[in-house]
A and B are shown apart, each in its own frame.
Chain A
C-alpha cells in the first residue's frame, strides 16, 4: 500500500549538507597533504568558496521569487497530478537527472549558457572546494527552461526542488583526485574518475561526461569518455583566467559576450556570439572545442578519441 506523503515537507537538504561539506573539505585537505594525490591552494580555494557563498545569495536578489512564482504557475497547468509518494520521488529524481544531463550539455555547447556554467570550471584545481565553485547567474533561465517541464508533467514543485538538491549533493564528493576507480559502480553512476574527465581541458577529454548522478545518460547519448591512465587530466578552461577575483570569475564571459556583440556586423554574428559554441568567431580566429580536437588530431595523426556509448571493461576498484 502506498504511503501518502501529503504532509511530507521536503527539507532544504543542501543547507543541512553544509556542515558535512566543511568536514569533508578538512578531511580532504589532510588526506591530500599526506598522500600527494591532489592539489590545494589557498587563493584558489578562497575563490571557490566565495563563489559558492555568492551563489547562495544570488537567489535572494529576486531569482528565487521568480522561480517559485513560475513553478507555482506551471503547476496549475500540469498534465496530471503525481502523488507525493516514495516512488514518485525516485521517478522524479531519475527524470530530473536526465534533465540535468541535457541542461549541462547545452551549458557546454551554447555560449549563453556557458557564460554561467564556466564559473564552475574556472579552477585549475580539482578538489572538494571546486565542487562549491558555483555560478552567480543563469539560475532563473536554467530553472524555467529545464525544470518547468517536470512540473508540467505533474511533479510537485517542492519535489522537483528537493531532488535537484539531492543531485547537487551527490555531485559534491566526486570532485576529488583521492578516489581513483570504483569498479562496476562506474557503469551506472557518475564517479570521481568520470567527472575528472569532464573537468579536464585535455583535447581528448573535452566536452564529455555531462552526467549529474547517472553516467548512463552519457553512454546513451554518446558523450562518454573514460579516464585514461596514460593521460592525466589537466583542469580548468581552455583559456584559463588570470585572476582569482570573484567578480571577474563570475562575469568574465558575460563581459566577453558584450564586447563581441559590439563588434557584430550581422544578425548571424549576433546569433553566433550568443548561441554558438564557446569559442565561435565569425572569422574562425578563435577555437571551439571541436577545433581544438581537430588540431590535436592533425598534430598527432590518427583520430582523436571520440565519445563512446559502449560499456567499458570493469576497472579494478582501488
Chain B
C-alpha cells in the first residue's frame, strides 16, 4: 500500500476492525445456551462411542458434563456459537466440587481442569435438581 510497514499495518488492522464490527452488527443474536439436547448431539458427533448416563448442565448455559458408567467423562463447552468437546477419564482431570462437606446436595458449582492447553478451566454452576448427577460424579472420582 504505502510502503511504510507501520502505516500499512495500521490500515490493515483498521480494515479488520471494520469487518468485525460489520459482522457483529449483521449477526448480533446472542448464542444459545448449552442444553442437554445440543450437548448430546455434539457429543454424538465428536465421540460416537461415548454412552452418557448422567448429564450435569451448567445453570448459566455455558457447558455440560456427561458421565459414562465406564468412568469416562466428557465436557461439552460453548465457544462463541459453537460447541467443543473434550473426552477424558474422570480420574485424570482435576475436578473441584465446591462445597464442603462433600454432600452432593451442598455442591453448587464444580470446576474442571483438564491437562489440555487448548481449553481453559471450565466452571459449571449446579442446580439443586442435579443432586443425583453430582453424586454419580463423586463416585466416578473415587
Whether A104 sits at the interface, judged by CB under 8 Å, is no
Inter-chain contact B120/A295, CB cutoff 8 Å: no
Partner of B23, one of A41, A50, A244, A295: A41
- CB closest chain-B residue, reference A255: B117
Using a CB-CB cutoff of 8 Å, which residues 112-129 of chain A contact chain B? 124-125, 129
CA distance A50 to B12 in the complex (A): 9
Q: Which residues of B lie under 8 Å from residue A259 when comparing CB positions?
A: 117
- Inter-chain contact A239/B26, CB cutoff 8 Å: no
**Complex: how many Å from CA A239 to CA B76?**
12
Interchain CB contact under 8 A, A33 and B26? yes
Closest CB in chain B relative to A107 CB, distance in Å: 19
Q: For the complex, is A53 an interface residue (Cβ under 8 Å from B)?
A: yes
A30→B23 contact, CB < 8 A:
no
CB distance from B24 to the nearest CB of A (A): 4
Q: How far is the CB of B40 from chain A (nearest CB, A)?
A: 15
A53-B13 in contact (CB<8A) = yes
A-facing residues in B53-73 (Cβ within 8 Å): none
Let me know if A240 and B82 touch, CB within 8 A. Answer: yes
Whole-angstrom distance between the alpha carbons of A57 and B12 in the complex? 11
CA distance A125 to B117 in the complex (A): 22
Asked if A239 and B19 make an inter-chain contact with CB atoms under 8 angstroms apart, the answer reads no
Flag if A41 contacts B80 (CB, 8 Å).
yes
Nearest chain B CB to A230 CB, angstrom units: 15
| Shortest distance from the beta carbon of B111 to any chain A beta carbon, whole Å | 15
Instruction: Tell whether, in the assembled complex, residue A33 and residue B16 are in contact, meaning their CB atoms are under 8 Å apart.
Output: no
A22 close to B (CB within 8 Å): yes
| CB interface residues, B 9-42, toward A, < 8 Å | 9, 12-13, 15-16, 19-20, 22-24, 26-27
Q: How far is the CB of A294 from chain B (nearest CB, A)?
A: 11
Residues of B within 8 Å of A39, CB to CB, are 81
A126-138 vs B, Cβ < 8 Å mask (1 yes, 0 no): 0001000000000
B9–A57 CB distance below 8 A: yes
**Given A45-B20, A242-B119; A29-B48 close (CB under 8 Å):** no
Q: How far is the CA of A49 from the CA of B22 in the complex (A)?
A: 13
- Tell me which residues across on chain A come within 8 A of B116, comparing CB atoms: 242
Place the interface of chain A in its size category: 35 or more
State whether the Cβ of A40 lies closer than 8 Å to any Cβ in chain B: yes
**From B1, which residue of chain A is reached at the shortest CB distance?**
A15
* Residues of A close to B120: CB separation below 8 A: 242-243
Among residues of B, the one whose C-beta sits closest to the C-beta of A53 is B12
Judge whether B48 and A295 touch: CB under 8 Å.
Answer: yes
Q: Which residues of A contact B119 (CB under 8 A)?
A: 242-243
Do B82 and A124 touch (CB < 8 A)? yes
Indicate with 1 or 0, residue by residue over A214-257, a CB within 8 angstroms of chain B CB atoms. 00000000000000000000101011111110001000100110
Give the CA-CA distance A80 to B108 in the complex, in Å.
74
Known: A22-B15, A29-B23, A44-B80. A243 touches B9 (CB 8 A): no
Q: Are B77 and A242 in contact, CB atoms less than 8 angstroms apart?
A: yes
Q: Are A242 and B9 in contact (CB under 8 A)?
A: no
B142 interfacial by beta-carbon distance below 8 Å = no
Cross-chain pairs A/B with CB under 8 angstroms, 9 sampled: A25-B19, A29-B26, A29-B27, A40-B27, A46-B23, A124-B79, A242-B77, A242-B118, A252-B118
Which B residues form the contact surface with A (CB < 8 A)? 1, 5, 9, 12-13, 15-16, 19-20, 22-24, 26-27, 45-46, 48-49, 77, 79-82, 84-86, 116-120
- Would you list the 10 A-B pairs with minimal beta carbon distance, nearest first? A242-B119, A42-B24, A240-B84, A49-B16, A124-B82, A42-B23, A46-B20, A45-B23, A40-B27, A241-B118
Besides the known contacts A15-B1, A53-B13, A242-B119, 16 further A-B residue pairs in the complex with CB atoms under 8 A apart: A22-B15, A25-B19, A33-B26, A39-B81, A41-B80, A45-B19, A46-B20, A49-B19, A129-B19, A242-B84, A242-B118, A243-B79, A244-B79, A244-B80, A252-B118, A299-B49
